[in-house]
C-alpha cells in the first residue's frame, strides 16, 4: 500500500493485556522521526491506565466501540492504528465491525485469534503461569521484572525500567478482576477468514515467549495481510526495538513495499 503523508499521518496507539499508554515509552518519537508532522495519540482501554477505575469489557467488540468513540471524538482525521496483542485484537474487531470508517491501515503486533491456532499457542503455558503469579505479587518491582523477563529479550535485568513500570502501577493500578476480564475478552476473539476493509501489516517477533510466532503467520494468511518478522525481539516489540518497528511501518505505508518474512532483517521488498 502507499499512503500520502504530506499533511502528516494520525497514529492511534493501543496497548495490550494489563498494559497502559505509558508503556509505549518513547516509541512516539521514533514514529515522528520517520513521519515528520505525525500526530500520535495513545488511547487507554477501559480498565487500564487513566481508565483503571473502569470495568474492562468482556468482548473485543465492546472495547472496539469504546476505542472508536474516543478516536472520532478527538478528530475526524483518518487514522493509522498501531496496536499490540489484545490491543490489536480490539483494532481488528473495529475494522470488521465498522468497515466504512476512515482507517488507512493497521499495524498489528504479536497478536492472535481463536480458531486459527490453539489456546496454548495464543498464550504459552509459561506465560499463563507468570501472568497469574504476577497478579498476586506483593513486591511491585519484582513483579515488573518478571513481566519484562517474559515480554522482552533485552530488559529482564533492567531494574530501573522495572521500577518505572512499578510506578505506573502505583499511580494507576490495574485490578485483578480487570486482568481476568481482559483475558476472557482475548480468549473469545475470532476473525473471519477474509480480507478486511483496511490493509493490515502483522509485525511479529521470532523470540516471543508469550505468544507463539505461528499465530502471527496464521493471521497473516487468514487476512491476506503483510508480514514483517523481527528475528530476535520479544512480545513487547516496540520496547525491544522501537526503531525497527517504526521503519517497518514506514516502508509499508510510505514506500509502498509489499512486506514479507525475511530472516536476518525482518523486512523484504517483493
What is the C-alpha to C-alpha distance for residues 131 and 240, in angstroms, rounded to an integer?
A: 20
Specify the fold of 10-253: Rossmann fold (3.40.50)
Q: pLDDT tens, 103-119? A: 999 999 999 999 999 99
Choice among 33-42, 61-70, 138-147, 253-262 with the minimum mean pLDDT: 253-262
Q: Does position 259 have pLDDT exceeding 50, yes or no?
A: no
Q: pLDDT tens, 123-171? A: 998 888 877 777 777 899 999 999 999 999 989 889 999 999 999 999 9
Helix (H) or strand (E) holding 140: helix 140-151
Q: Which residues, 6+ apart, have CB-to-CB distance to 23 below 8 Å?
A: 15, 165, 168, 236, 239
Q: What is the largest CA-CA distance in the chain?
A: 50
Q: pLDDT tens, 56-65? A: 999 999 999 9
Measured on CA atoms in the order 30, 93, 227, 194, is the torsion positive or negative? negative
What is residue 165's predicted lDDT score, i.e. its pLDDT? 97
Q: Does position 8 have pLDDT exceeding 90, yes or no?
A: no
| Cα 201 to Cα 29, 37, 147, distances in angstroms | 20, 22, 26
The residues spanned by each domain of the chain are 10-253
Q: Does position 266 have pLDDT exceeding 50, yes or no?
A: no
When pLDDT is averaged across residues 244-263 and rounded to a whole number, the result is 75
Residue 66: pLDDT band by 50, 70, 90 thresholds? Answer: very high
What is residue 46's predicted lDDT score, i.e. its pLDDT? 98
What is residue 4's predicted lDDT score, i.e. its pLDDT? 52
What is the C-alpha to C-alpha distance for residues 40 and 7, in angstroms, rounded to an integer?
A: 13
What is residue 129's predicted lDDT score, i.e. its pLDDT? 82
Q: pLDDT tens, 173-182? A: 999 999 999 9
Closest by Cα among 93, 136, 81, 88 to 109: 88
Mean pLDDT score across all residues of the chain: 90
Amino acid at each position: 500500500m502507499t499512503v500520502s503523508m504530506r499533511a502528516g499521518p494520525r497514529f492511534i496507539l493501543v496497548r495490550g493485556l494489563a498494559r497502559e499508554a505509558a508503556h509505549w515509552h518513547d516509541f512516539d518519537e521514533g514514529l515522528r522521526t520517520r513521519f515528520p508532522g505525525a500526530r500520535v495519540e495513545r488511547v487507554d482501554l477501559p480498565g487500564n491506565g487513566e481508565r483503571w477505575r473502569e470495568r474492562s469489557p468482556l468482548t473485543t467488540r465492546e472495547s472496539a466501540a469504546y476505542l472508536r468513540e474516543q478516536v472520532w471524538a478527538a478528530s475526524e482525521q483518518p487514522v493509522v492504528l498501531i496496536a499490540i496483542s489484545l490491543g490489536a485484537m480490539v483494532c481488528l474487531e473495529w475494522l470488521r465491525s465498522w468497515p466504512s470508517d476512515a482507517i488507512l491501515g493497521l499495524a498489528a503486533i504479536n497478536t492472535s485469534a481463536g480458531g486459527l491456532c490453539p489456546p496454548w499457542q495464543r498464550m504459552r503455558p509459561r506465560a499463563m503461569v507468570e501472568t497469574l503469579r504476577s497478579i498476586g505479587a506483593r513486591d511491585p518491582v519484582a513483579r515488573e521484572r518478571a513481566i519484562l523477563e517474559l515480554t522482552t529479550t533485552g530488559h529482564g535485568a533492567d531494574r530501573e525500567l522495572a521500577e518505572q513500570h512499578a510506578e505506573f502501577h502505583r499511580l494507576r493500578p490495574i485490578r485483578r478482576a480487570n486482568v481476568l476480564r481482559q483475558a476472557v475478552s482475548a480468549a473469545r476473539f475470532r476473525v473471519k477468514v477474509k480480507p478486511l476493509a483496511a490493509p493490515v501489516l502483522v509485525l511479529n517477533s521470532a523470540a516471543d515467549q508469550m505468544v507463539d510466532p505461528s499465530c502471527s503467520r496464521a493471521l497473516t494468511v487468514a487476512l491476506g495481510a503483510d508480514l514483517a518478522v523481527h528475528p530476535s525481539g520479544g512480545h513487547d516489540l516496540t520496547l525491544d526495538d522501537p526503531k525497527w518497528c517504526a521503519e517497518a511501518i514506514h516502508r509499508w505505508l510510505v514506500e509502498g513495499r509489499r512486506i514479507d518474512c525475511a530472516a536476518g532483517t525482518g523486512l523484504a521488498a517483493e
